[in-house]
Amino acid sequence: MKFFIITKKQIMLCLSVIMAVTAVTVGSAVTFAQNDRKLPIYCVDCKQKKVAISFDAAWGNDDTQTLIDILAEYDVPATFFVVGAWVDKYPESVKALSEAGHQIQNHSNTHPYMTQLSTEQMKDEINSCNEKIKSITGVCPTLFRPPYGDYDNCVVETTESLGMHAIQWSVDSLDWKDNATAESICNRVVSKVENGSIILCHNDAEHTPEALPNILKCLKDKGYKFVFISDLIMNDNYEIDHSGKQCKINN
């Protein structure tokens, strides 16, 4: 009779292999990430030429109506992530965005670094903003974009516990930079967009209104269709890869 001796090193190696291929289940989705790191959705694995454009609204409001007019001219739906304090200050713009057919989503209540908050404080930030948006639009947000792009596992888990998706972006227009120009903003966005991209812009950046028409025209000429982020992402049976791309699980 032959006996096989398994060493501690071999056992640890086997465990490492098992852990490497184990996914962390979150609701009906599965997130794959190094060291069990949870990621928001940065973009979507999409066969069709679909993209989503989004605007963060946290501070000023000089250009919001101009953006609404440009988006209407090109028949493009947009997703606006608004801060609760911005809603308090500019309720008429929130109403105008909603009446123009755009989606209003959550960007926190006071624009804090979410990773510096307790779980309860995170929930209060998200819920307070949700309530303010719903009181004006009648619709409760389903997406949350952490301010400053600042997140960790707790931020993503807390967002999911509230039945919402955490959303980042895969194409940053960098329209907020001091050296940004309409041309640089347009070139950057158009050159980086691909199927399933989520574009980040801001409602009060100096050159965004000037850049936006060219962005929309160029991408439409390339055959891209603009959709809401909520219509671009999947709600179940998906995984998020190491880059933040949401992919369908093929059963």
Residue 250 class from Cβ within 10 Å (0-12 exposed, 13-18 middle, 19+ buried)? exposed
| Catalytic residue check, 242 | no
Nearest to 55 by CA among 237, 247, 189, 224: 189
Q: Of the listed 107, 111, 165, 202, which one is catalytic?
A: 202
Distance CA 53, CA 51 (A): 7
DSSP string, 45-67: --SS-EEEEEEEESS--TTHHHH
* Catalytic one of 56, 63, 175, 204: 56
Active site residue 241: no
Which residues have CB under 8 Å from 108's CB, separation 6+? 83, 84, 114, 125, 126, 129, 144, 146, 147
List of residues 6+ apart from 120 with CB closer than 8 A: none
Put the strands of the sheet holding 238-240 in their side by side order: 24-26, 29-31, 238-240, 245-248, 43-44
- Residues with a catalytic annotation lie at 56, 202
